[in-house]
Structure 1
Amino acid sequence: MNTGKTLFAQLMDFLPWTTFTRLVQQYGGDRYVKSLTCAEQFRIMAFAQLTYRESLRDIEVCLSAQAAKLYHMGFRQEIRRATLADANEKRDWRIHAEFAQRLIAQARKLYVGDSLAFELENTAYALDSTTIDLSLSLFPWAPFRTTKAAVKMHTLLDLRGSIPSFIHISDGKLHDVHALDLLTAEAGAIYVMDRGYLDFTRLYAVDQANAFFVTRAKSNLDARRIYSARTDRSTGIMCDQTIGLNGYKTSRDYPAHLRRVRFKDPESGKTLVFLTNNFTLPAATICALYKSRWQVELFFKWIKQHLRIKKFFGTSENAVKSQIWIAVSVYVLVAIVKKRLNLDASLYTLLQIFSLTLFEKMPIQQVFAGSGYTSEHAVDCNQLNLFAF
């Protein structure tokens, strides 16, 4: 008995398809297309991401096994791997890139009121990158090492909701620090970075934009102490100092004072030294901000689980970038669904559950017992009322 839409179709209903259609028209994505439109290509690739498919053949076999449900999932015809491979090769990746950016803007509005694990009024971002290794023989357009190819994904993650606000895909040779040149610093925002971004010229530009940064100091930092604030060492804060740079070049690159916070982790015993241009936040908050960087690592972990070598469905630059941007769109889509349906589960838990239930015909909220969500609308879309008079 048909009791409604499949979970996959319900997820796709959260997407702004009018915007997608406009982008397809802008880039001529469906020009001269007789079968498998850009919208269907997106649905298939999204399905592959959600269900951890490993190849084009895997996608074809999986969907063929559920041929009776394809129409209800938004597919007008059976899926052929050759047709999908051709679409990934030729449909402009910028359609999916811009669509992902529209979803990101939508998701950030939903999460703007979320609180962090610590008290903070500023917008906080974590900046990092991940390298996706490729085979040089299959991906010659992305040289990295002498015998390796790679693409690098530079990401600025909004720590409220773990939503990426900026993504740049480059070849593997682009150094992390150059990603700072691609960003326009937001006044009042805090950018959390590891030591790979420690470039005092670029950090001073962030400071001059009235934004803040938190990063790790290198062991060879040449600096002088100007002032020491009182600290409670029982909290792990060993020192909280105002410093000036001594080096001839570094003192010219960053002529202002910096704040240095030394923290000893009571659990691991490891000592970390942080640098920041924010002199008002408590030292404990500076440490907590840096610790929150783990969110961007979790984001990369999910992306890499979907983008291993065997899971690329094409070898051209267009195919690889299309797949990466569709993967980002799926991640953000799940974040939107979580917020709109008030689902009490992490994004990673949601993704795991969706991977097993996409063919089920039940309301999304029923899959997550105890979520606290109740729908204001009837959910049995196609169920007749047997007791109507």
Structure 2
Amino acid sequence: LYIASFLKLLVFAQLNETESLRAVSETLFSDDLQKATELESISFSQLGRRLNQVPTEVFQQVFLDLVAQIHEKSHYEQRRETTTPLKIIDSSTLPLNLKNHKWAEFRKTKSGIKLHLRLVYAEKGCSYPDKAVLTNAKEHDRGQLEVLVDDKECMYVFDRGYLDYERFDRMTDDGYFFVSRLRKNAVIRVIEPFKLPEDSLVFSDEMVLIGTPQNRAENAFRLIKVLDSKGNELHLITNRFDLSADEIAELY
């Protein structure tokens, strides 16, 4: 089972949302798939053995090569000259068997790793991941902002798991723009309220200081309050003052 055929099988499985190696092996190969992979049939045990033999660096390189091709075909560098690219950061915890993965223990009964994914949002219906970081599941999300925020020409959007007042200060001082969600029990002090247009979906827009005397940000930020599609109140924090409150809310 050559690596080229194996990777084509995995791509086919991914595109068809095939859930297991057994399901891949049981798939009735089409003539085109047999021709592409040069395989008439394959057992799931063969696939499993081959998967264990392939270094993870191979998959990482395939991912990075695909991202480079997408950048080129979507004219990413040209578009960023006229518009600010939007990059969304989020994490997913992937559970593992504790018996087989003691190195990834994060609770008494389970192991796990965390996938931090950065998504380039090009336009409605068009987005793709351009960076991925794997950590132990018990590591806090906020430590990964240092790795995932690396381009001053972008606008970053992330959830409250990445909240870090000290890093918000550093990002602002270094010229990085972001919008995130603030916890409702966060300590804030209003410096100045901003006037909203009558047709705005936002019901509060203020310049604020955030944090307690022991843990606070030095810079002033913008706090926007808006209802989401389910009627829940969202508190959004950003260091951009040049966009309208509705534009900030729409970004999140």
- Alignment TM-score, normalising by the size of structure 2: 0.86
Corresponding position: 1:277 with 2:242 = no
Tell me, in whole angstroms, the C-alpha distance in 2 between the residues paired with 1:242 and 1:186: 25
Pair 1:45–1:191, CA change in 2 (3 A): same
Amino acid of the residue matched to residue 154 of structure 1? H
**Residue aligning to 1:240:** 205
Corresponding position: 1:46 with 2:11 = yes
Amino acid of the residue matched to residue 159 of structure 1? Y
Tell me, in whole angstroms, the C-alpha distance in 1 between the residues paired with 2:212 and 2:205: 21
Amino acid of the residue matched to residue 162 of structure 1? S
Tell me, in whole angstroms, the C-alpha distance in 2 between the residues paired with 1:246 and 1:71: 60
The answer to which structure, 1 or 2, has the higher relative contact order (CA under 8 A, 6+ apart) is: 1
Equivalent position to 1:287, from 225, 234, 249? 249
Corresponding position: 1:128 with 2:90 = yes
**Conserved in 1, the CA contact under 8 Å of 2:142 and 2:162?**
yes
**Conserved in 1, the CA contact under 8 Å of 2:87 and 2:157?**
yes
Q: Deviations along 1:102-154, whole A, 9 cap, x unmatched?
A: 21122133333899xxxx93111111101122332344443231111222110
Pair 1:81–1:239, CA change in 2 (3 A): closer
Corresponding position: 1:93 with 2:51 = no
**Conserved in 2, the CA contact under 8 Å of 1:188 and 1:210?**
no
Amino acid of the residue matched to residue 156 of structure 1? R
Amino acid of the residue matched to residue 191 of structure 1? Y
- The CA RMSD over aligned residues, in Å, is 2.5
- Alignment TM-score, normalising by the size of structure 1: 0.58
**Conserved in 2, the CA contact under 8 Å of 1:225 and 1:241?**
yes
Pair 1:68–1:180, CA change in 2 (3 A): closer
Amino acid of the residue matched to residue 237 of structure 2? L
**Residue aligning to 2:141:** 176
Tell me, in whole angstroms, the C-alpha distance in 2 between the residues paired with 1:94 and 1:138: 21
1:277 positional shift:
0.5
**Residue aligning to 2:23:** 58
Corresponding position: 1:107 with 2:73 = no
**Conserved in 1, the CA contact under 8 Å of 2:119 and 2:127?**
yes
Q: Deviations along 1:322-369, whole A, 9 cap, x unmatched?
A: xxxxxxxxxxxxxxxxxxxxxxxxxxxxxxxxxxxxxxxxxxxxxxxx
Amino acid of the residue matched to residue 155 of structure 1? L
Gaps of 5+ in 1: 1-35, 291-389
**Residue aligning to 1:217:** 182
**Conserved in 1, the CA contact under 8 Å of 2:21 and 2:44?**
yes
Corresponding position: 1:188 with 2:153 = yes
1:76 positional shift:
4.7
**Residue aligning to 2:222:** 259
Tell me, in whole angstroms, the C-alpha distance in 1 between the residues paired with 2:211 and 2:41: 67
**Conserved in 1, the CA contact under 8 Å of 2:5 and 2:36?**
no
Pair 1:75–1:276, CA change in 2 (3 A): same
Amino acid of the residue matched to residue 161 of structure 2? G
**Residue aligning to 1:146:** 108
SS at match of 2:215: helix
Amino acid of the residue matched to residue 209 of structure 2? G
Larger of the two Rg values belongs to structure = 1
**Conserved in 1, the CA contact under 8 Å of 2:71 and 2:77?**
no
**Conserved in 1, the CA contact under 8 Å of 2:179 and 2:239?**
yes
**Residue aligning to 2:169:** 204
Pair 1:138–1:75, CA change in 2 (3 A): farther
Pair 1:175–1:246, CA change in 2 (3 A): closer
Q: Deviations along 1:145-184, whole A, 9 cap, x unmatched?
A: 1111222110111111311121112221121111112234
Corresponding position: 1:82 with 2:45 = yes
Tell me, in whole angstroms, the C-alpha distance in 2 between the residues paired with 1:185 and 1:208: 14
1:187 positional shift:
1.1
Tell me, in whole angstroms, the C-alpha distance in 1 between the residues paired with 2:31 and 2:250: 51
SS at match of 1:235: coil
Gaps of 5+ in 2: none
**Residue aligning to 1:73:** 36
Tell me, in whole angstroms, the C-alpha distance in 2 between the residues paired with 1:95 and 1:257: 45
How many residues are paired up? Answer: 246
Pair 1:262–1:114, CA change in 2 (3 A): farther
